[in-house]
Every structure is written in C-alpha cells, then in structure tokens.
Amino acid sequence: MADRTTELIDDLLLRREEAVRLAEKRAAERQHPKGKLTARERIALLTDPGSFVEIDEFARHGAGPLGDGLVAGHATVDGRPICVHAQDFSVFGGSLGEASGAKVNKVMDLATRTGVPVVGINDGGGARIQEGVTSLARYAELAVRHTNASGVIPQISLILGPCAGGAVYAPALTDFTVVVDKLSQMVVTGPDVLRAATGEEITLDDLGGARVNATVSGNAHYLATDEADAIDWVKTLLGYLPANNRDSAPEYDDDTAPEVTASDLELNRIVPDGANQGYDMTDVLARVVDDGDLLQVHGAFAPNIICAFARVGGRSVGVVANQPRFGAGAIDIDASEKAARFVRFCDAFNLPLLTFADVPGYLPGLDQERGGIIRRGAKLIYAYAEATVPKVTVVVRKAYGGGYAVMGSKHLGADVNLAWPTARIAVVGPEGTVQVLHRRELAALSGAERAARERELIARHQDSPYPAAERGYVDSVIEPARTRLAVTAALRALRGKTASVPARKHGNIPL
Ligand code: HXC
C-alpha cells in the first residue's frame, strides 16, 4: 500500500518539477537575457517569503505546456492576504488562452469572494491568436470580473512588458496601473498596424511606452525606474488600503506631537505674499501628514493637482491638493479626471478625504472648451458631491469661482472646512472683479490715470476668508502652524460619521 502511495507522490513531484521548476528554468532563460524577471520571480518579490500558494499549476490546454503561460495563486504582503496572477512571457508570449484565461478568472473570483486585493502582472501578447474566439471570451469574462470587483476590492496592475491590443482594457479597468520606464508598453494598436492603416510612422515607445502612459495619456499611475521599484510601490500602496470595501485600512499608533512643533511653525512662512507667486504644495502637505510621507498617485500626470495617500494620526487618508507650481494649480481636464477617480476610489474604500485648496479656478482656453472641460470638469464636482467619507478641507490661498466650489467646499458636503488667514475666497480674483464691475469707469480713462485707478480698485478688492467664515462656510480660520493639529482633531471627530445616499441602481457620472 505504502509503496503505491510513494509511487504516486513521486509521480506528483515529477509533474510539479515539470510544471514549476523546469517551466521556471525555461522562463529564466528567455526573460533574463532581456533584463526581465520571470512571473514567479516577480511574485516572489511582491509577496512575503514562502507565502505564495500557486493554484492550477497543472492546468493546460490540450497537450500544451502545464500552467498555460500564467502563474496564479494567493499569498500575503506584510502579513495581509492578496490574490495574484502573472503572465509568463516565455509561454506563447504570455498570451491568454482558454486554460490561462480560466485560471485568471478563477483567481479573480477567489479575491472577490474572500475580499482581498488582487494584483495582476501583465507581460504578454494579449488574446492567444491560435485559440481564437475562446481567448476573446476569457478576456471579456475577465472584464466582467474587474467591473464587478470595482469598489469591492482594490485591483492593481503591473505592466512589466508588452500589454497590447484589447488586452490593455483589463488593466484599464483596475484601480491602479504601474509601468516601468523603457520596459512597459501599452497600446491598443501597435506601430505596424498604424502604419498600414493611416500611414503614420511612430515608434512603439513614443506611441505607448511607459513614459507616455504615465505623463500624457494618464493610463499609468506610477512610472517606476525598474521592476523592483514598481513592485515596491505596489507594496507601499497596499499598506495604505483596506482589504475590501467593508474593511478598514491598517491603523498605526498615533505618535505624532500633540503640540505645535518647529515643523508646524514653518507653515506660517510657506505662502508667498505675491498672489501669483508659486510655492510647492507638497511642502505644506509634508508638514501635516505623519512623517511627511506621501504616496503620490498619477504623480507624473496632471501635476497641477496632487493626489496622494498618506496617514494622519496613524490612519490612512486620501489627500487632494492643488499644486501652484504647475499651471498656477488651475483645474484642467486632466486634473479633474485624475482627482475625480482618486476621490471615488477613496470613497469606495472608506478613506477620509483631506483637501488643500489653492486654485484660481477651472482653466480657460479653446483647447479645454473643445476638449470637454464642461463635461469632464464636472467629474470632480460629482465625485466630491457623492463621496460620503469624512471630508476635511483647508483653503490655503486662492479658492476662486468653480475652483472654490469643487475643492471640497462645505456646499459639496465637506464636514470640516478650515482656512488660513492667507485664504482668498471669491467668485473671481481682484483683477477679474475690477475688470467686470468697473469696466465702464476704466474705459473712460486712459494711460497712467487708468493704470493708477485700476491699482487702487484692485487693492480695494482684496479677498479674505472672512466673508465665508461669517456665513459658516468656513468653520474656522486657523493659524497655518495649527493645521496638523486641527486636521488631526477633525478626522478624529469624524470617525463615527455615517451618511446615507438615495436608493438607486447607480448614478450617472458625466463620462
Ligand atoms: C499567440 C503570441 C501572441 C499572441 C506573441 N506571441 N503574441 N502567440 N498569441 N497574441 C508569441 C510569438 O509568436 C512568439 O512565439 C512569442 O510569443 C514572443 O513574441 P515576439 O513577437 O517574438 O516577441 P516581441 O518581439 O517581444 O513582441 C511582443 C508583442 C508581439 C509586442 C506582444 O508579439 C505582438 O504584437 N503580439 C501580438 C499582439 C496582439 O495583436 N494581440 C492580440 C490583442 S487583442 P515564439 O514561438 O516565436 O517564441 C486582445 C483582445 C482582448 O487581446 C479582448 C479584451 C476584451
């Protein structure tokens, strides 16, 4: 009896040798010369040592290779469970076929059922051409799973090689996409097809390289320097997030100083006197959040707005802030879409929103109007208005017009609104006010006389936070140095916030 068991165990070990060790050896031979890691090496870098449990390593299509070009399973990251799947480029170019498609869908189902984040590693040619419509079916079924898991579990995509054709829509449906400089490519149509179809000549890197996707199209949320950096970013990101929409994010002891510190006092000197002078909003944020740590999302895209995960008093928050260093911090189409998606993610996963406003308004311009700033700029308003998580806003300097309203104003449902004495809250800035309200008077003047009168009127129309404070739209005007303490106290007060939303199938965010 025991001999038979021994035989069967030996047989199992042989099969596993083929499915894992030999497959891994072949994969290393093909990936390493290109400076790329194998699927299992990538999973090992991401997950806690020894925690990865592979599933379906014996799955195959017909007489094809065991595993079918995809490595999948569950593991832990910093002791917290996740599900993971990774395309193995050494097998049919990492393309997704019937068996590998079933595997990825199975692990997606497991993640959703158990309420844990899923990380997908893409390095492949998309739908497997030989398997025709079956591979398309698996991809479409995967799209349904990503959609149903949206707002239920965090979904993260690493692009560590090509991700081409309709296959790019799988990561595009997830919450965060990470690319690696000079390694990742994401395109719906490659350069060869483009040349044949339209005659356009462009390199793959210019069309859909990592840098383009992280800075221009906004398809990628982080541009990593190498694979290790990309994986590291994902691990840090996971540390800020709850496992699912019913869970809370990991919490740490609040060991922040209970009194105003030297670093806090520096906030009293950060905002320049000139209304149009720039400064770096991250210098403000770093003095408010724990240890000055900000994990920026979309850091290389729409830099006029900052979206970042951070902690305040040991608890995760989502930070949204205008960045006066770029485009005066005005909200353009890209900034609206970037921040709207971030706000909605935070709301879905119970992360309070901390907003820092210094915004001259929505960006004017023909490009913006024709590009749809009305409908696309509406996304950020919609996102803030529908968010029911605790919302705390600090007006640092300008909050003009639509910019005032959208950046976490009381009227969109913010719970605690604070302003610095440097805040300028108005429909338009002093220059604009004078041009509209005193146009006729100024038109009657000319030369030096007109300029002098204009200066006088502008000086008279200086904006402040007090009209808003008088009406309770700002709960308190605070000394900048007290911001960290005030924000910490506000978030503490809001911990028990509950809010209800009207019953409906779903809203219809302007898209
Ligand atoms: C089957 C594929 C494949 C695919 C690559 N291979 N893509 N096999 N189906 N889709 C194989 C190649 O034949 C080759 O096999 C090996 O993988 C490596 O490919 P290379 O071309 O040699 O590598 P490279 O030069 O690095 O180019 C990688 C690539 C290119 C950019 C991914 O292979 C490519 O463009 N592939 C086709 C992409 C594509 O059109 N996919 C369909 C997308 S539509 P050998 O045996 O020679 O090593 C889609 C619909 C999804 O995905 C629907 C979503 C809803």
Tens digit of each residue's pLDDT (9 = 90 or more) over 17-74: 999 999 999 999 999 999 999 999 999 999 999 999 999 999 999 999 999 999 999 9
Atom 33 (ligand 1) nearest CA: 125
**In percent, how much of the chain has pLDDT > 90?**
95
CA dihedral defined by 339, 345, 347, 351, rounded to 10 degrees?
-100
Say if residues 448 and 455 touch (Cβ distance below 8 Å). no
Whose CA is closest to atom 16 on ligand 1?
Answer: 93
Contacts of 298 by beta carbon, 8 Å cutoff, 6+ apart: 218, 221, 222, 307, 338, 342
DSSP state of 363: P
The residue contributing the CA closest to ligand 1 atom 36 is 125
Return the pLDDT at 274: 86
Q: For residues 437-448, give the mean pLDDT.
A: 93
Q: What is the pLDDT of residue 2?
A: 80
Looking at residue 291, its pLDDT comes to 97
How high is the pLDDT of residue 5?
Answer: 96
Task: Determine whether the shortest distance from the Cβ of 309 to ligand 1 is under 6 A.
Answer: no
User: How many angstroms separate the alpha carbon of residue 129 from the centre of ligand 1?
Assistant: 8
Ligand 1 close to Cβ of residue 127 (< 6 A): yes
Residue 136 Cβ inside 6 Å of ligand 1? The answer reads yes
The band of 309, judged by pLDDT with boundaries at 50, 70 and 90, is very high
| pLDDT tens profile 235-290 | 999 999 999 999 999 999 999 999 999 999 999 999 998 888 999 999 999 999 99
Please give the pLDDT value at position 1.
Answer: 62
Which of 26, 89, 90, 92 most suits a substitution to test ligand 1, by most atoms within 8 Å of the C-beta?
Answer: 92
**CA-angle at 209, arms to 208 and 215, nearest 5°:** 90
Please report how many Cα atoms fall inside a 13 Å half-sphere around the Cα of residue 46, on the Cβ side: 34
Closest C-alpha among 178, 177, 181, 185 to residue 161: 185
Mean pLDDT computed over 131-138: 96
Atom 29 of ligand 1, nearest CA residue: 125
Instruction: Give me the pLDDT at residue 63, please.
Output: 94
C-beta of residue 125 within 8 angstroms of C-beta of residue 162: yes
Categorise residue 58: left if φ over 0, alpha if ψ from -120 to 50, beta otherwise.
Answer: alpha
The average pLDDT across 483-507 equals 96
> What DSSP letter does each residue of 175-238 carry, written as one string?
SEEEEETTT-EEESS-HHHHHHHH-----HHHHHBHHHHHHTS---SEEESSHHHHHHHHHHHH
Q: Verify whether ligand 1 is closer than 6 Å to residue 162 (CB atom).
A: yes
The mean pLDDT value for 312-341 works out to 98
pTM of the model: 0.96
SS3 category, 243: coil
Q: What does the pLDDT average to over 369-397?
A: 98
Q: Is any atom of ligand 1 closer than 6 Å to the C-beta of 458? A: no
Please state the atom number of ligand 1 nearest to the C-alpha of residue 204: 31
Nearest protein CA to atom 14 of ligand 1, as residue: 93
Q: How many CA atoms lie within 13 A of 128 on its CB side?
A: 24
**Whole-angstrom distance, CA of residue 510 vs CA of residue 113:** 30
User: Cα(104) to centroid of ligand 1, in Å?
Assistant: 18
Cβ neighbours around 223 below 10 Å, total: 23
